Chains A and B, each alone.
Chain A
């Protein structure tokens, strides 16, 4: 008997505005369809029509709740290429440190969510307990746990002061000592192996054809990593190698288990990169142009187009920016978040699996729908309740409760 199970916009397995509707017969999935049109927020439209470039950095930063350094990083890289803005050396190093800090916190967050999808809540609590260390470091360095607000065209807005360095070093030591234990808890647990080994396999050929990016494609053995392939920021100094599962487990299967392996390896790699960055951090000022109005002016009179590519925690993140002189704001701005390509990889992964595998396979690509959906254009003719009414209703309810 066939039915369709909607793993939909509101589902405990996938708290993301996307809907996977699987037609199942018995327990086996026979067809997978992805419907992504649940919550498009108009980020590009805002960037092109409403905001000037400085404000667009903060819109880009809020494309994704977790990986919020990668989007402004790409945007700034593209704009700097067009306006040929010089970026001081120290700023390039700070950008590398920030993107690696973000990768650690994003991967550890994902590891906890994956454990929760498997029903292993104590591993979720454990992973998020050790993640607090990187969150405290981020709070000390950036002043805020998640939204860093540190990117500016031509450099960074805040420096890594001398009193921050011992805290970061302490975090590095903490994670290097802990890697063995975390790897043991995740990779040598029999029930996790039973649930993730040979589940959601993405063959190397599918991974390349469907253009998956980031840990999803590296788990299938393809050595694709933007930090290793293209030279941007200070990455040429770090000789970054793409992490594939055979480094730890010796062979490549391309299943959910390998994606856990790749992400844990990347956390270790990021910690080592930060350590090297701190050792070789050049001195000097951190932004090439202090006065913001001058930056706005140079952007306004520049012309041209460029792409910014950066290795976000979930994969390759690319922005295409086109500037036209005299136009206030970005003339054309296209954001492509990493999950955008990885969704296509769901189809071959989920085929002929059981319902129990949907949450963990869907979570294995670390979907971040807020990156992928980006525009809301409200049509107010037949919407009865608007956000305003809902807000007022909630105020009355809170007042009532406070009596």
Chain B
């Protein structure tokens, strides 16, 4: 699956693909292309299943990284296709934009079990509810962490009581 086939496969599905390129290497100058695709929340599961079909081995999932952009939250699913061949991997990021009022995303653990930890992290760090994930315990924060506070958010739910350990020591 080289990059053109992957882009055509996504365009078939009626998705607009944005390609970012970056030069690398000195003697053998090769380009590194990353695909950025906006996907609706309801089509996410369908697209990931589609990726499992077209992948020659299995899509490589890296992590989910949520970004708080004022009124909405952009949830980026970082995946990639075509690893194993020389310079053949294409990193693909599915960007799901969800409004802050209705923060939920479908789980992907039934398709790719490896996403369990990332989903548990966005639940506790960003307050996004993942529908269908059975184990929703805290992953990195302690059990007695006050709920309602989401460390990565930039609005009123961001942590306020911060221990200024690094400032008050000089006296």
> Chain A interface (Cβ within 8 Å of chain B)?
36-38, 40, 42, 44-45, 48, 80-81, 89, 92-93, 208-212, 222-224, 226, 228-237, 239, 242, 280, 282, 305-307, 309, 316, 318, 320, 322, 331-332, 334, 336, 340-341, 343-344, 372-375, 377-380, 386-388
Whole-angstrom CA separation of A380 from B159 in the bound complex: 13
The reply to whether the CB of B25 lies closer than 8 angstroms to some CB of chain A is yes
CA distance A45 to B166 in the complex (A): 14
Residue from A208, A228, A233, A373 within 8 A of B86 (CB atoms): A228
Chain B positions 109-168 with a Cβ under 8 Å from a chain A Cβ: 112-118, 138-143, 145-146, 149, 151-152, 159, 161-163, 165
B93 at the interface (CB under 8 A from A): yes
B54 within 8 A of A: no
Contact assessment for B152 and A44 in the assembled complex, using a CB-CB cutoff below 8 Å: yes
Q: In the complex, are the beta carbons of B151 and A231 less than 8 A apart? A: no
| B24, closest chain A residue (CB) | A231
The CB with the most chain B CB atoms within 10 A, among A210, A231, A306, is that of A231
A305 CA to B66 CA in the complex, in Å? 12
CB distance from B19 to the nearest CB of A (A): 13
Determine the distance from Cα of A208 to Cα of B79 in the docked complex, in whole angstroms: 13
**With A229-B83, A318-B78, A336-B63: A344-B24 Cβ-Cβ less than 8 Å:** no
CA distance A226 to B161 in the complex (A): 40
Q: A208-B58, A236-B24, A237-B28 are in contact. Are A230 and B89 (CB under 8 A)?
A: yes
Would A332 and B117 count as touching, CB distance under 8 A?
A: no
A235 and B25 within 8 A (CB)? yes
B79 CB, nearest partner CB in chain A, Å: 10
10 A–B contacts from the bound complex (CB under 8 Å): A36-B139, A40-B142, A92-B26, A237-B26, A237-B27, A242-B84, A320-B76, A340-B63, A341-B62, A344-B113
Which of B7-15, B29-37, B98-106 is near enough to bind chain A?
B29-37
In the complex the two chains form, is A229's CB within 8 Å of B87's CB? Answer: yes
Residue pair B162, A377 in contact (C-beta under 8 Å): yes
Task: Report the separation of the CA atoms of residues A224 and B91 in the bound assembly, to the nearest whole angstrom.
Answer: 13
B57 at the interface (CB under 8 A from A): yes
- Known pairs A229-B86, A230-B32, A332-B152 / 14 extra A-B pairs, C-beta < 8 Å: A37-B142, A40-B141, A40-B142, A44-B152, A208-B58, A224-B83, A224-B84, A226-B89, A229-B80, A233-B24, A234-B26, A236-B24, A306-B20, A322-B67
Please name all residues of chain A whose beta carbon is closer than 8 Å to the beta carbon of B28 when the two chains form the complex. Answer: 236-237
Q: A209-B114, A224-B83 are in contact. Are A232 and B24 (CB under 8 A)?
A: yes
- Smallest Cβ distance from B163 to chain A, in angstroms? 4
Chain B residues in 8 Å Cβ range of A37:
138-143
- Which residue on chain A has the smallest CB distance to residue B111? A209
- Cα A382 to Cα B63 in complex, Å, equals 34
**CA separation between A242 and B66, bound complex, in Å?**
31
CB distance from A247 to the nearest CB of B (A): 15
Chain B interface helix/strand/loop/mixed? loop
- Beta-carbon contact of B117 and A341 below 8 Å: yes
Given B30, B76, B83, which contacts A231 in the complex, CB threshold below 8 Å? B30
Question: With the chains together, A348 CA to B86 CA distance in Å?
Answer: 30
Contact with A along B51-66 (1 / 0, CB 8 A): 0000001101111011
Chain B residues with CB under 8 A of A322: 67
| Complexed CA–CA distance, A38 and B34 (Å) | 35
* Chain B residues in 8 Å Cβ range of A373: 140
Residue of chain A at shortest CB distance from B22: A81
CB neighbours (8 Å) of B68 from chain A are 332
Quick check: is B40 within 8 A (CB to CB) of the other chain? no
B141 & A375 in contact (Cβ 8 Å cutoff): yes
Within 8 Å by CB of A209, from B26, B32, B58, B162, lies: B58
A-facing mask of B72-88, CB < 8 A → 1, else 0?
00001010101111111
Complexed CA–CA distance, A274 and B171 (Å): 48
**Cβ of B117 and Cβ of A340 under 8 Å apart?**
yes
Q: Nearest-CB distance from A288 to chain B (Å)?
A: 13
Which A residues touch B22, using CB under 8 A? 80-81, 232
- Minimal beta-carbon separation of A296 from chain B (angstroms): 21
Which residues of B sit under 8 angstroms from A386, Cβ to Cβ? Answer: 163
Tell me, rounded to whole Å, the shortest Cβ–Cβ distance linking B91 to chain A: 6
Q: Give the chain A neighbours of B149 by CB distance below 8 A.
A: 377
> Contacts of A378 on B, CB cut-off 8 Å?
162-163, 165
Q: Would A231 and B26 count as touching, CB distance under 8 A?
A: no
Contacts of B88 in A (CB 8 A): 229
Out of A242, A344, A380, name the residue touching B163 (CB < 8 Å). Answer: A380
Inter-chain CA distance A234–B28, complex, in Å, is: 9
CA distance A100 to B37 in the complex (A): 33
Q: Are B114 and A210 in contact (CB under 8 A)?
A: yes
Cβ contact of B26, chosen from A93, A226, A332, A374, cutoff 8 A: A93
Contact A306 B61 (CB under 8 A): no
Specify the chain A residue showing the minimal Cβ separation from B169: A388
Most chain A CB within a 10 A radius of its CB, from B26, B34, B138: B26
